Amino acid sequence: MTPVTIYHNPACGTSRNTLALIRNSGVEPTVVEYLKTPPTRGELADLIRRMGVPVRAVLREKGTPFAELGLGDPALGDDQLLDAMMAHPILINRPIVVTPLGVRLCRPSEAVLDILPDAQRGAFAKEDGEQVVDAAGQRIDKAS
């Protein structure tokens, strides 16, 4: 079985949709409810490094103490942003998915399809009804 880990918040629709897409590929991932069991500072820094994005790109604003903590200040460095995420794990944007093909912040949820080693096993629609995968297990291109 392909090892897949999702840093998940069950209260988040995007996170729930991503988890369902992983399961639709036939994989039961390791689910880390990061609000209950946050990654260590080193683990978080490593995930961000492996995603190839700036620390600020993983910082969640909506529904968090982002504004109250003044985290929009561009003078704040990576260490200060990581400190804030360690003190307030809700600031870690989600879901982050780790597979043998890479690490990705899966927003939108179908971004997970780019790093899942196993194909989708059937049609998939998000919680809001949006079709993402057709009956043949193929990603639906929104541009068409």
Query: What is the domain extent for residue 104?
Result: 5-133
Give the pairing of strands 96-99 and 5-8: antiparallel
Strand ranges (DSSP E) for the chain? Answer: 5-8, 30-33, 96-99, 102-105, 124-125, 131-133
Is residue 21 in some structural domain?
yes
Task: Indicate which CATH number applies to the domain containing 46.
Answer: 3.40.30.10
Please report which confidence band the pLDDT of residue 49 belongs to, taking 50, 70 and 90 as the band edges.
very high
Please report which confidence band the pLDDT of residue 98 belongs to, taking 50, 70 and 90 as the band edges.
very high
Is residue 91 in some structural domain?
yes
Catalytic machinery residues: 12
Is residue 108 in some structural domain?
yes
Is residue 141 in some structural domain?
no
Q: What's residue 143's pLDDT? A: 66
Q: What is the pLDDT of residues 102-127, one digit of tens each?
A: 999 999 999 999 999 999 999 999 99
Is residue 14 in some structural domain?
yes
Q: Structurally, how many domains does the chain consist of?
A: 1
